[in-house]
Amino acid sequence: MGVDLYGNKTQLSIQDSIDELGELALSAGAEVIGALTQKLRRYSHYYLGQGKLEELKELIIENSIGTVICDDELDPNQQQNLEKVLEKVKVIDRTALILDIFASRAQTREGRLQVELAQHEYLLPRLAGQWSHLERLGGGIGTRGPGETQIETDRRLIRNRIIKLKKELKSIRTHRNLYRERRRRSGVDVVGLVGYTNAGKSTLLNTLTKAGVAAEDKLFMTLDPVTRKLQLPNSKQILITDTVGFIQKLPTTLVAAFRATLEEIGETSAILHVVDITHPNAAQHVSVVTEVLKNLGVNQSKSIIILNKVDLLSSSASIEDISILAPTRIDNDDGTPVNIVSAKNGTGISELLNSIQTILED
């Protein structure tokens, strides 16, 4: 369920955002029963307004729903209030859902540590809600009830774990920086693959380098950086790095935890921005990715926009037709080079390699 605030400017419409939330839920293994949206001037203490809350209760009873997912990050009080009024129904938000997907996808030690750090930092301010079922037990020794005692214990344990995770990640980051410095001294160019989740980055990496990276039609299939060698038409060897895909409302705890990984993009010689040309929100996806990179301080002056999945468009559409279509799908006012490809069947790959070679020579 989602709330559309008056005057709130987001990249996607409320309906598109809810559709994306449904895709995230499916990626996490959930069955999507229905969706509710509401337009409000401000979020209520229950996230939704009273009338829509009653509608939600009816939907839950009629369909025996066990979990409700909110499209925005709930504050701890909103989550507690919703769970109290909905009874026996688990309430999570978009952030918790994305963290759950990341936890299931992380393969390397660094990836797992980063996800765990993000999960703990998300959970810490929400511990009171985890122990709300103990409130009825009343006071214990002194003036504190057993629930409060347990909360303090849990807070200490989580804070200690966060400190340990940050220390381990700092060590990994130091090693990564040393490797990056050696790579810089070697003079080898590195290009970075970026894009909205499920734009086809991993498939493109496989097509360009025969990397054999897992690539499925699912959200967030790549979490851990993958770097492979790529030979250009002039026989020059470069490196190409695939990283985690982006999404609107990307949790701040996740961005912070994955900062070391995302910084890999900032050290590249050029950016390859992969876009799913078939997606109706392609332009918004470009804006989301561009904004995240900007916030990370990534220089995007040397970039190529790669319009991928051209094979899914009309079979009668020529590259020339799609070139005319492209400006209606994405904003390219800054003159960033555009290549049209199919990572799946190889269309446009030779032209893309030439474009990469040209941008690195500039």
In a domain, 184, yes or no: no
Domains held by the chain: number: 3
Return the CA Rg of the chain.
Answer: 23
181 part of a folded domain:
no
Check: CB of residue 94 under 8 Å from CB of residue 21.
yes
- DSSP code of residue 74: P
Residues 70 and 213 in one domain: no
Examine the fold and report which residue of 82, 103, 124 is the final residue of a domain before the chain moves on: 103
Whether the per-residue pLDDT at 321 is higher than 90: the answer is: no
pLDDT of 331 over the 70 cut = no
Mean pLDDT over 93-114 rounds to 88
Cite the beta strand spans of 8-147 per DSSP E. Answer: 37-40, 67-70, 90-93
Buried b (16+ CB within 10 A) or exposed e, 178-207: eeeeeeeeeeebbbbbbbbbbbbbbbbbbb
Instruction: Tell me how far apart the alpha carbons of residues 207 and 69 are, in angstroms, rounded to a whole number.
Output: 36
Please check whether residue 179 lies inside any domain of the structure.
no
Give the percent of the chain with pLDDT over 70. Answer: 83
- pLDDT mean across residues, the chain: 84
Domain assignment of residue 175, yes or no: no
Helix, strand, coil abundance in the chain, percent, nearest 5: 50, 15, 35
Residue 327 and residue 205 share a domain? yes
Per-residue pLDDT, 302: 92
Nearest to 101 by CA among 62, 59, 64, 69: 69
Task: Say whether 179 sits in a helix, a strand or coil.
Answer: helix
Strand segments (E) across the chain: 2-5, 37-40, 67-70, 90-93, 190-195, 226-231, 237-242, 270-276, 303-308, 338-340
**pLDDT at 135 (0 to 100):** 45
- Both 205 and 349 in a single domain? yes
pLDDT at 324 over 90: no
Of the candidates 288, 241, 252, 226, which has an alpha carbon nearest to the alpha carbon of residue 99?
252
- Whether 8 is covered by a domain: the verdict is yes
* Higher-scoring residue by pLDDT: 342, 6: 342
Both 95 and 161 in a single domain? no
216 and 246 part of one domain: yes
Structure tokens at 108: 């390397």
User: Where does the pLDDT of residue 329 fall: very low under 50, low under 70, confident under 90, or very high at 90 and above?
Assistant: low
Candidates 24, 17, 90; CA nearest to 60 is 90
CATH number, residue 231? 3.40.50.300
Please check whether residues 260 and 301 belong to one and the same domain. Answer: yes
pLDDT tens string 5-49: 887 777 678 999 999 999 999 988 999 999 999 999 999 999 999
Q: What is the mean pLDDT of residues 213-230?
A: 70
**Domain containing 48 — which CATH number?**
3.40.50.11060
DSSP state of 88: S
Residue 203 forms part of a structural domain: yes
pLDDT over 60 at 278, yes or no: yes
User: In which band, very low, low, confident or very high, does the pLDDT at 276 lie, cut at 50, 70 and 90?
Assistant: very high
What pLDDT does residue 137 have? 36
Query: What pTM value is reported for the model?
Result: 0.83
Most confident range, picked from 29-43, 237-251, 328-342: 29-43
- pLDDT 10s digits, 257-267: 777 677 778 88
Judgement on whether residues 322 and 207 belong to the same structural domain of the protein: yes
Tokens 């009273």 appear where? 50
Q: What's the rounded mean pLDDT across residues 51-76?
A: 93
Is 216 contained in some domain? yes
Task: Indicate whether 217 and 348 sit together in one domain.
Answer: yes
**Do 121 and 220 fall within a single domain?**
no
User: Is residue 173 assigned to a domain?
Assistant: no
Q: List, for residues 163-215, the tens digit of each pLDDT value.
A: 999 999 999 888 888 887 888 888 899 999 999 988 999 899 999 998 666 55
Whether residue 38 sits in one domain with residue 132: no
204 and 305 inside one domain? yes
Residue 287 · residue 297 · CB < 8 Å: no
Query: pLDDT of 284-320, one tens digit each?
Result: 899 899 988 888 888 888 999 999 999 888 654 455 5
Per the CB < 8 A criterion, the answer to whether 72 and 33 are in contact is: no
Q: Which amino acid is residue 106, in one-letter code?
A: A
Same domain, 160 and 200: no
pLDDT over 90 at 93, yes or no: yes
Q: Which pLDDT value is given to residue 133?
A: 39
Of 222, 307, 215, 230, the closest CA to residue 268 belongs to 230
Task: Check whether 359 has a pLDDT greater than 80.
Answer: yes
Domain span at 77: 2-103
Predicted confidence at residue 162, as pLDDT, reads 95
DSSP string, 174-212: HHHHHHHHHHHHHT--EEEEEEBTTSSHHHHHHHHH---
Position 235 pLDDT exceeds 60: yes
Q: How far is CA 132 from CA 80, 94, 124, 290, 356, in A?
A: 8, 22, 15, 41, 56
